[in-house]
């Protein structure tokens, strides 16, 4: 569902819809990435400058919480329950860990960038006391 901002007449696309697909958060047509996780400098369709985007370690944090923890739990369970040799972990735990940790990185990063655009998140600024207007 598209909504419009009060500040402008352009449509605002939902972050989940554009970010997960790796599309431009403004037009929904241009690509967000060049390569696996590298952001493009700007959208090739609408020209939106992606310099506002800084998801930092957000995607890695979510992947660690929701992907790596279950992978390590699986490895520990296999080790305790079966006292498995290392080659068993190589063929069970390693593929599971790779499948739960690497594929979600790109959609999560795209979602975080799209949310930054949608909510107009910007870097914080310090405000001096003498510039604050008092009622």
- The string of pLDDT tens digits covering residues 24-33 is 999 999 999 9
Asked if residue 6 has pLDDT above 50, the reply is no
Per-residue pLDDT tens over the stretch 45-62: 999 999 999 888 999 999
Asked if residue 19 has pLDDT above 60, the reply is yes
Higher pLDDT, 106 or 54: 106
Task: Report yes or no on 97 lying in a domain.
Answer: yes
Task: Report yes or no on 61 lying in a domain.
Answer: yes
The structural domain count of the chain equals 1
pTM (2 decimals)?
A: 0.79
Q: What pLDDT score does 126 carry? A: 67
CA–CA distance from 41 to each of 7, 106, 128 (Å)? 25, 16, 33
CA–CA distance from 110 to each of 33, 60, 81 (Å)? 8, 12, 39
Task: Report yes or no on 131 lying in a domain.
Answer: no
Task: Report yes or no on 25 lying in a domain.
Answer: yes
60: domain range? 3-121
Task: Report yes or no on 13 lying in a domain.
Answer: yes
Closest by CA to 95, choosing from 69, 75, 80, is 75
Q: Is the dihedral of CA 92, 94, 99, 101 positive or negative?
A: positive
Task: Report yes or no on 127 lying in a domain.
Answer: no
């Amino acid at each position: 569902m598209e909504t419009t901002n009060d500040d402008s007449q352009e449509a605002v696309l939902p972050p989940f819809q554009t970010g997960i697909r790796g599309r431009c958060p403004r037009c929904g047509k241009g690509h967000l990435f060049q390569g696996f996780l590298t952001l493009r400098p700007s959208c090739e369709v609408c020209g939106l400058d992606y310099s506002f985007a800084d998801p930092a370690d957000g995607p890695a944090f979510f992947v660690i919480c929701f992907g790596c923890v279950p992978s390590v739990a699986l490895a520990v369970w296999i080790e305790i329950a079966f006292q498995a040799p290392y080659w068993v972990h190589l063929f069970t735990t390693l593929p599971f860990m790779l499948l739960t940790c690497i594929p979600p990185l790109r959609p999560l990063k795209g979602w975080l960038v799209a949310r930054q655009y949608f909510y107009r998140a910007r870097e914080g600024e310090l405000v001096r006391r003498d510039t604050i207007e008092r009622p």
